[in-house]
Amino acid sequence: MFGLKTRGNFPLVELLLAAVFLVGFDFCFRNAAAAREAREIKGIENKAIEIINVSYDPTRELYEEFNAEFARHWREKTGQDVTITQSHGGSGSQARSVIEGNKADVVTLALAYDIGAIERAGLIGAGWQDEFPGNSAPYTSIIVFLVRKGNPKRILDWDDLIRDGVGIITPNPKTSGGARWNYLAAWAFANKLYDGDVEKVKAFIGKMFANVLVLDSGARGSTMTFIENGQGDVLLAWENEALLSLKSLPDDFEIVTPSVSILAEPSVAVVDEIVEEKGTREVASSYLTYLYSDAGQEIAAKNFYRPSNLDILNRYKDIFKLDVNLVKIDESLFGGWGKAQNEHFIDGGIFDQIFEN
């Protein structure tokens, strides 16, 4: 009779079974550890994240709606909750706040020059205007007049603003991006009126600012001065701000589109230094990219900003007047924001010279 071979006091079969058990236990243990590690990593990845959007004054309603839509989109795409904290104010002041330490992941400001100031401070990399379509301007606007119902002062164009007895409300070009667009639109009209005679243009702008009753620090402040405080006969305004006011109070105001206006191009950028520090580049970049999506463009249009998507813009042609004579900041008259800022808005520039006189 053949007996089983043994090793020591244990039959070989039992040793083999024990070995199989140990191998299986080790495999299961390793799999469980790997699964636990994967869950931990996924938990880290899906941990709620916050980004800060430092924006200019009139975009409050736009980003309230857009932020909710982006949070829904990001959650659906990644499983991660994102909170967007907003900051609003005059565009120039907002740019300075970022330079001075406001930890903005993204900036959505009234004009490229203000983002350029953040770039020059070393917080945004060169070439930021090429990061997104349309020179990183996902929507645009123009400058219009908001007047009281019936237009009692018969304000139809820029030259009506220099008449005696006309009270103007506009923000301060030293702090507000919208105010700089207002000023340059008026300059373009006067330049055409006087065939480029700079001294006559300066005199025109001087007469206009002599009629300004209040220089608020930002566009929304000027809107409140005009609407809630009842000051002035005309508000120089972003088209989106004027349309929003008209939507709220259709029986109190009307919009006048002057014969010459300017294509106002609010710009957006990721603040490179901050997103690297906080680890938020992916969500910050996706946030700005989503402004160009159909959903983002529809939200812009519903909040009275002109979408960069022409198909969507044309769907709102009953809201936006599309046949306006528009000048552009990059045309020879102004030569881009760098030249315009240095000529008109730096300390001691043309605006200061006119205003002091």
Q: What does the pLDDT average to over 104-115?
A: 97
- Domain assignment present for residue 281? The answer is yes
Q: Which domain holds residue 233?
A: 143-263+325-356
Same domain, 199 and 280: no
Are 220 and 102 members of one domain?
Answer: no
Residue 13 shares a structural domain with residue 98: no
- The residue count for the chain: 357
What contacts 144, CB < 8 A, 6 or more positions away?
237, 238, 239, 242, 255, 256, 257, 258, 261
pLDDT at residue 31, as a whole number: 53
Q: Does residue 346 sit in the same domain as residue 235?
A: yes
Q: Is 231 within a domain?
A: yes
**pLDDT band, residue 238 (cuts 50/70/90):** very high
Q: What is the pLDDT of residues 179-200, one digit of tens each?
A: 999 999 999 999 999 999 999 9
Q: Under DSSP, is residue 146 helix (H, G, I), strand (E, B) or coil? A: strand
Nearest CA-CA partner of 264 in 137, 88, 132: 137
Q: Are residues 155 and 208 in the same domain?
A: yes
Q: How far apart are CA 59 and CA 51, in angstroms?
A: 17
DSSP H helical ranges for the chain:
12-45, 60-78, 91-99, 112-120, 133-136, 177-193, 198-210, 219-227, 239-248, 272-278, 281-290, 294-302, 310-315, 337-340, 350-356
- Residues 345 and 341: their CA atoms lie apart, in Å, by 5
- Do 246 and 180 share a structural domain? yes
* Residue 125, in any domain of the structure: yes
Whether 85 maps to a domain, the answer reads yes
pTM, 2 dp:
0.85
Residue 107 falls inside a structural domain = yes
The rounded mean pLDDT for the chain is: 90
Question: Do 339 and 215 belong to one domain?
Answer: yes
Residues 70 and 125 in one domain: yes
Phi, psi (rounded to 5 degrees) for 253:
-140, 165
Whether residue 303 is contained in a domain is answered as: yes
Total domains in the chain come to 3
Residue 227: which residues within 8 A CB-CB, separation 6 or more?
235, 245, 249, 252, 253
pLDDT mean over 154-163? 98
Q: Give yes or no: residues 229 and 293 share one domain.
A: no
Residue 343 DSSP class? I
**How many Cβ atoms sit within 10 Å of the Cβ of residue 1?**
2
Which CATH number do you get for residue 243? Answer: 3.40.190.10
- DSSP for 279-294 reads T-HHHHHHHHHHTTSH
Classify residue 215: in a domain, yes or no.
yes
Count the neighbouring beta carbons within 10 Å of the beta carbon of residue 250: 10
Asked whether residue 3 is assigned to any structural domain, the reply reads: no
The tens digit of pLDDT for each residue in 80-103 reads 999 999 999 999 999 999 999 999
Does one domain contain both 311 and 198? no
Q: Are residues 147 and 238 in the same domain?
A: yes
Both 118 and 252 in one domain: the answer is no
